[in-house]
């Protein structure tokens, strides 16, 4: 099957700007799903609000386009109700970690079997370029005309601290790597977080003189390095990529089945 077969093609071309990294992430995600041979009917995509969230409408799965920041609790309801379904939640950086921050850490804490993808372009794109909790200090944004003074979250460290049992990072430049990581994340039993650095040439690139989409991708290439690589050893300021955590810890839905077993026995 071609990856286009996983799309609701009548809604293409999609609404993302030219060179938006989110399209590449969709591309990588569909390849992962194709390689895993997941049945369309066994997959639920749940998203929130923002550019990233539009993914759900484009894919030919069960798709749930919810409210800003609320994709994970909605997905939690889906997953706990029907644990056999694969549930994937693509989110933007503001969606996942500002308005949805509380849901993010608690979904990780529960270790519920959901794959959360943080498509981090460091900006609120849909509303026209406001800084996000992942912008970090020194960034130009419409709501930071004198540059940002806000520190950013480290998505990977936050996810690990909150209890996610699979945590990884890649970039839109590293498309094949993203696919490989997403495959493992989807297969992982537990809460998986995959941060994929994306690019918003329209609202971030232009304002911050990072050039067009291609030069923003060059930035991903130059400023990141695989965990354990020589490059990272030589220059620890680079953003590490790869799988940081992949552990087998009790998964929420499986644990709840045990509760049902105990409760229904007590009843009898």
Partner 1 sequence: MARQKLKEIVIDRSWCKGCGICVHFCPTKVLEIDANEKSVAVRPEDCICCKMCELRCPDLAITVLIDQGEDNEK
Partner 2 sequence: MKNKIKFIQGNEACVEGALYAGIDFFAGYPITPSTEIMEHLARRLPERGGKFIQMEDEIASMCAIIGASLTGRKSMTATSGPGFSLKQEAIGYACMTEIPCVIANVQRGGPSTGNPTHVSQGDVNQARWGTHGDHSIIALTASNHQDVFAMTVDAFNLAETYRTPVILLLDEAVGHMREKLIVPEEGELEIVDRLRTALGRDVDYHPYLPREDGRLPMSDFGGEHRFNVTGLFHDMWGFPSNNPKVINELLRHLVDKIENNVQAITRYKEHCLDDAEYILVSYGSSARSAIHLAKSRRNRGEKIGVLELQSLWPFPTELVREKCSNAKAVLVVEMNMGQVLAQVKAAVEKPDRVFLANRIDGKLITPSDIKKLLRVIQGRGV
Question: Which residues contact partner 2 (rule: CB under 8 A)?
Answer: 8, 11, 40-42, 44, 46, 56-57, 60-67, 70, 72-82, 84-85, 102-103, 106, 256, 259-260, 262-264, 266-267
Residue 2 found at the interface with partner 1 (CB under 8 A): yes
Which of 91, 117, 158, 213 is the binder for partner 1 (CB under 8 A)? 213
Taking each helix axis as running N to C, give the angle between helix 155-162 and helix 101-110, from 0 to 180 degrees, rounded to the nearest 10.
Answer: 50
Between 7 and 78, CB nearer to partner 1:
7
Residue 52 found at the interface with partner 1 (CB under 8 A): no
Q: Alpha-carbon distance 135 to 165, whole Å? A: 25
End-to-end CA distance of the chain: 49
Residue indicated by tokens 């519920």: 112
Question: Of 133, 165, 174, 172, nearest to 150 (Cα)?
Answer: 133
- Candidates 67-75, 171-179, 189-197, 224-232: pick the segment binding partner 1 (CB under 8 A): 171-179
Q: What is the largest CA-CA distance in the chain?
A: 68
Structure tokens at 144: 């930071």
Q: Give which of partner 2, partner 1, none residue 70 binds (C-beta under 5 to 8 Å, depending on kind).
A: partner 2
Q: Give which of partner 1, partner 2, none residue 57 binds (C-beta under 5 to 8 Å, depending on kind).
A: partner 2
Q: What are phi and psi of 124, to 5 degrees?
A: -85, 105
Q: Cα angle vertex 150, ends 149, 154, to 5°?
A: 135
Q: Which of residues 19-38 bind partner 1 (CB under 8 A)?
A: 19-24, 26-28, 30-31
- List residues near partner 1 by CB under 8 A: 2-4, 7, 12-14, 16-24, 26-28, 30-31, 172-173, 175-176, 179, 201, 212-214, 217
């Amino acid at each position: 099957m071609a990856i286009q077969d996983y799309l609701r093609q009548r809604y293409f071309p999609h609404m993302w700007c030219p060179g938006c990294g989110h399209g590449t992430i969709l591309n990588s995600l569909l390849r992962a799903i194709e390689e895993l041979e997941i049945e369309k009917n066994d997959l639920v995509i749940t998203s929130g609000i923002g550019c990233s969230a539009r993914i759900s409408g484009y894919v030919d799965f069960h798709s749930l386009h919810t409210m800003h920041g609320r994709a994970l609790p909605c997905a939690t309801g889906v997953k706990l109700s029907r644990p056999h379904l694969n549930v994937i939640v693509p989110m933007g950086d503001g969606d996942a970690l500002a308005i949805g921050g509380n849901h993010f850490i608690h979904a990780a804490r529960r270790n519920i079997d959901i794959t959360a993808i943080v498509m981090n372009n460091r900006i609120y794109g849909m509303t026209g370029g406001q800084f996000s909790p992942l912008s970090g200090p020194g960034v130009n944004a419409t709501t930071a005309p004198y540059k940002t003074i806000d520190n950013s979250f480290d998505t990977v460290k936050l996810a690990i601290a909150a209890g996610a049992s699979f945590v990884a990072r890649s970039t839109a430049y590293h498309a094949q790597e993203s696919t490989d990581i997403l495959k493992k994340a989807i297969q992982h039993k537990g809460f998986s977080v995959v941060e994929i650095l994306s690019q918003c040439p329209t609202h971030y690139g232009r304002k911050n003189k990072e050039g067009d989409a291609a030069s923003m991708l060059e930035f991903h290439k130059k400023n990141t390095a695989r965990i354990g690589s020589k490059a990272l050893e030589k220059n620890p300021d680079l953003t590490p990529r790869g799988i940081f955590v992949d552990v087998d810890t009790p998964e929420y839905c499986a644990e709840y089945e045990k509760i049902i077993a105990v409760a229904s026995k007590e009843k009898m």
